[in-house]
Every structure is written in C-alpha cells, then in structure tokens.
Amino acid sequence: MTVSIDIGEMAGNARAGMDLEELLATRLLVQGNSGSGKSHLLRRLLEQSTPWVQQAIIDPEGDFVSLAEKYGHVVVDAVGTEKDLQMIAGRVRQHRVSVVLNLEGLDADRQMKAAATFLDGLFDADRDLWYPMLVVVDEAQLFAPAAAGEVSEEARRRSLGAMTNLMCRGRKRGLAGIIATQRLAKLAKNVAAEASNFLMGRTFLDIDMARAADLLGMERRTAETFRNLDRGHFVALGPALSRRPVSVKIGPVETAGRGGTHKLMPLPDQPKEEAKDLIFTRSADEEAPRRVRTPEPVAST
C-alpha cells in the first residue's frame, strides 16, 4: 500500500508528498535554525500521518502535548522510575498506542536518561511486536550531541547509544527515526548520517552549511541557498520525498504548538521606584520558584 502524506506546496502550486512506506525504511533528518519552522513541520507530518501509523514523540519542551487532545496520543510524563518508563515503552509497542514523551522541566541529564530508557524500551520489544512506528525526536542534538558537554558521561553514553540504535538498527524493528535539529554541527555525525531523507530549512552558520552540503552530497555553493529560505520553507531531498532537491512550503497545522513568534509591544508606563518594588517585594500569593539555576563559577583571573 502506498500512502502519500501531504506536507505542503511546491512551486507552481503542486502538492509535496512524502511516501510513508519509504519513510519508514529510510528515515528523515530536519535541520534549520531556531524559528525556521522545524517543530511546525514535524507537527504537520504527525497530524497528516496519524491515521496510518503509530507515533512516539520525544518532546523536550512539551510542545507536542497538544496533539493528545485532538489525535488521542497519550502523554507520558517522565516522572516515574526508569523501570516504570521502560515498562510503559514495552506496553506502547504491545498495544500500539501513540504517545508523547514529555520531558519538559527536567534537567538535561534526566532528559537524556529518560529518553534513552524509553527508546531502549521501544527497541527491545519482542520480535512479534515489531509493528511500524514513527519515532520523532525534536531537538535531537540534545540527545545525540556531537561533543561531550556539561552532562554526566553516563547520560551522554546512554542517550547517544539509544539514538544510534534508533537510527542505525531501528528499521528492522519497525522504528523509523525522524530527527530535527537546530544545529547540524552539534548533532553526532553517525546519527545524522543514517537518514536518507532531508528537509533543510534556514541555516546561517557556515559550519552547519558545510555539514549539510556534505550530507546531501551538494556543492557548498548550492547549500548557500539555505541561508535565504523563509520561515516554513524547506529544501526536500531523498527517496521518500524527491530524487532532486525541491523547495517546499510546509502547509498549515490543526493543533497549536507553543513556540510562538513574539510580537513587539510597548512596555507599561512605570515610575522607576514602583518598578523596584515590583521585583524586590514578595507578594502574598507568590510561590517560591520551582527551579533555581546554580550560578556559573566565576573564573579567576
């Protein structure tokens, strides 16, 4: 059965389709700087494909929770133990329920460990449960970072291992990785290299452009055009999309994300003294903050 997902519009009003079966076999990488429209694109893809295929979304910002109401995804808040999360992932495969793994509010270390546990749980399902499933990872550079960062080595190793399994060995198990990143240069190379389909959005930095050109087998000069793309416009290439690079304007979505573009608005008029009171005085109904960041150590000179 061939199912073509309508992702948007190409030049001359032609529809841009994505072959779902081919996508399951060949995976997808989406890249574009912040605000280029990646999460919107993922949402379009998820909404359009929801009747056809089971979905799991690894959601670091809680952006996709709003899919649940309209499309029936179950939201899994990563609050329980790792054992709980692993068991839930197993049941997700057994009962073929679409889910959003909501990692909002967790620190980076816990986000990585929770994503790793959940992905491993999907991956380790018994052979008779290997039904096809889209596994969408937004902000994939958080889970498969190219370089060691401030997180623990254990979190990095586990998360990178789970992402590598998803992209390199997931197909046989029915898992199709769809990963999105703001910065290609920050995403582990072996994870990015396993996708055969690409949707490239607005990209500013030379280092990301160079990585994109390498991945797509393009001249650097051709990849330069990614700099001029408008929000919501992506260059599509790959067996599930198009054999040649084509420009696509991603279509509208049914549910709302949280990533808004912020309109400028005038500041309220306030005498200076009052403004001081507003921020230094605790009001009666105010709660203590949930998370306090540890200040950066000051470098000694």
Which residues lie near ligand ATP (CB under 6 A)? 32, 34-40, 182, 231-232, 250, 257, 259-261
Task: Say how far apart CA 172 and CA 160 lie, in whole Å.
Answer: 19
Q: Which of Mg ion, ligand ATP, none sits in contact with 261, Cβ below 5 to 8 A by type?
A: ligand ATP
| Nearest-CB residue for ligand ATP | 232
Q: Are 59 and 138 in contact (CB under 8 A)?
A: yes
User: Which one, 93 or 211, has the nearer CB to ligand ATP?
Assistant: 211
Q: Which partner from the list Mg ion, ligand ATP, none does 260 bind, CB cut-off 5 to 8 Å by kind?
A: ligand ATP
> Sign of dihedral through CA atoms 4, 6, 7, 10?
positive
CB of 285 to ligand ATP, least distance (A): 31
Would strands 4-9 and 15-19 be described as parallel, antiparallel, or unpaired?
antiparallel
Count the neighbouring beta carbons within 10 Å of the beta carbon of residue 77.
15
CB of 113 to Mg ion, least distance (A): 22
For Mg ion, the closer of residues 39 and 50 by Cβ is 39
Burial 163-188, CB ≥16 within 10 A → b, else e: bbbbbeebbebbbbbbbbbbbbbbbb
Nearer to ligand ATP, 240 or 250 (CB): 250
Give the alpha-carbon dihedral of 268, 272, 274, 279, to 10 degrees.
80
Number of residues that bind Mg ion (CB under 5 A): 1
Q: Residues 175, 131: contact at Cβ < 8 Å?
A: no
Residue from 39, 49, 98, 141 binding Mg ion (CB under 5 A) = 39
Output 71 or 131, the one with its CB closest to ligand ATP.
Answer: 71
Kindly state the smallest distance separating residue 39's Cβ from ligand ATP, in Å: 3
Instruction: Tell me how far, at minimum, the Cβ of 38 lies from Mg ion, in Å.
Output: 5
Among Mg ion, ligand ATP, none, what does residue 62 contact (CB within 5–8 Å per kind)? none
- The DSSP H or E segment spanning 70 is helix 67-71
CB closer to ligand ATP out of 88 and 199? 199
Tell me the longest C-alpha to C-alpha distance in the chain: 69
- Of 85 and 187, which CB lies nearer to ligand ATP in the complex structure? 187
Q: How many helices (H) and strands (E) does the chain have?
A: 10, 11
And the tokens for 247?
């420009």
Report the residue closest to Mg ion, judged by CB. Answer: 39
* Residue 43 beta carbon to ligand ATP: minimum distance, rounded to whole angstroms: 8
> Measured between alpha carbons, how far is 29 from 194 in angstroms, rounded to an integer?
9
Q: How far is the CB of 139 from Mg ion (least distance, A)?
A: 7
For tokens 């839930």, what's the residue? 88
Residues forming contacts to Mg ion in the complex (CB under 5 A) are 39
